[in-house]
Amino acid sequence: MDIILQGPIWPTTLQTAMYYLELSFVDNVIISTWDDESIEEKDIIDLPRIKLVKSTKPPFKPGNIDYQIISSFEGIKKTTSSIIAKMRTDQIIHKDDMIMMNNFVLNNIDDTNLVYSNGEKRKGNIYVIGMNKIHPFHPQDHIFWGYKEDIYKVFNIPNKPDHLTNEAGAFRDPAYIGAMYFKQFYPEIELYLDNFREYMVDNPPKLDAKILSEKTRDKVFKVFPKIHMDWVKYGWNYPYEMYIREGEYYYEDLTQK
């Protein structure tokens, strides 16, 4: 598999890439970052399994969602393995958990019968660190792991329109990524995007989007068991308790039903 580390360069980013390459199932690590970051090709010249992609930053928006869309997509295009994982430059997942996640994916990835609205069968499941049960079409966007063809479709989307980003009460960034992917199976989601104040904001007046999300979210995205992740940006581990309060759930929650 190939791993994309997307985002700005942190003091631990290159070390994290090398750490993942110690895993037997990892073929390459692609670092997808920005033209103004200090890392250069000469810094990885002796590391042929680490690839560097640099892109021009889009205009700043609150939440930086366009940064994620662009750096993820440019990194995905550089991958060569059939299975890939989009991760972040500021996070480190412990090796034992990487092994567990890889086995979890390989044991379940082909168990899907979803068909895109154009008639194409989805190649396999896509795995995320968590899903939100309160906000519709809302995966947690730290990790997307699956077949390249499917992850490509997740991020081959337009940047988030300004009216969805700069307006108070606009719907959440991960839900935009999620909704744009869900829409490839359920075209009626276009109505919810066109009328986002009615369907996609927190506590929306109309519940159609939430009802559709409840029926379909565990088919469109699969959730991993809980893992150990160091989040360098904040100096803490993955904040499960905080995200649970916000409505996030994990594989353990599904198996306890």
Indicate the pairing of strand 50-55 with strand 28-34: parallel
115, 105 contact by CB (below 8 A): no
CA-to-CA distance for 69 and 88, rounded, in angstroms?
Answer: 12
Higher-confidence residue: 170 or 102? 102
Tens digit of each residue's pLDDT (9 = 90 or more) over 132-158:
999 999 999 999 999 999 999 999 999
Q: Residue type at 229?
A: M
Closest CA to 33 of 44, 22, 21: 44
Burial 244-256 (b: 16+ CB within 10 A, else e): eeeebbbeeeeee
d(CA 78, CA 27) in angstroms, rounded, equals 13
Give residue 83's pLDDT band: very low, low, confident or very high (50, 70, 90): very high
Can you give the pLDDT at residue 167? 59
Residue with tokens 């989007």: 209
Bridge partners of 144, per DSSP, are 86, 128
In angstroms, rounded to a whole number, what is the distance separating the alpha carbons of residues 241 and 163?
31
**198 or 164: which carries more pLDDT confidence?**
198
Mean pLDDT, residues 70-82: 98
The residue type of 128 is V
pLDDT at 166 over 60: no
**Cβ-contact 1, 102 below 8 angstroms:** yes
Q: What is the pLDDT of residue 162?
A: 82
Token pair, residue 61, equals 């928006």
The two beta strands, 2-6 and 28-34, are parallel
Per-residue pLDDT of 209-243, as tens digits, reads 999 999 999 999 999 999 999 999 999 999 999 99
Residue 220: count other Cβ atoms within 10 Å of its Cβ.
22
Mean pLDDT of the chain: 94
| pLDDT value for 224 | 98
Contact between 158 and 164 (Cβ < 8 Å): no
Per-residue pLDDT, averaged over 81-92, amounts to 98
Segment 43-49 shows an average pLDDT of 91
Name, in order, each residue with C-beta under 8 angstroms of 216's C-beta and a sequence gap of 6 or more: 182, 185, 186
Q: Is the pLDDT of residue 168 over 60?
A: no
Interval 88-143: pLDDT, tens: 999 999 999 999 999 999 999 998 899 999 999 999 999 999 999 999 999 999 99
Rg (CA), the chain: 18
Residue pair 121/44 in contact (Cβ under 8 Å)? The answer is: no
Helix, strand, coil % in the chain, rounded to nearest 5: 35, 20, 45
With cut-offs at 50, 70 and 90, classify the pLDDT of residue 63. Answer: confident
CA–CA separation, 86 vs 81, rounded Å?
Answer: 13
Q: Could you tell me the pLDDT band of residue 9, with boundaries at 50, 70 and 90?
A: very high
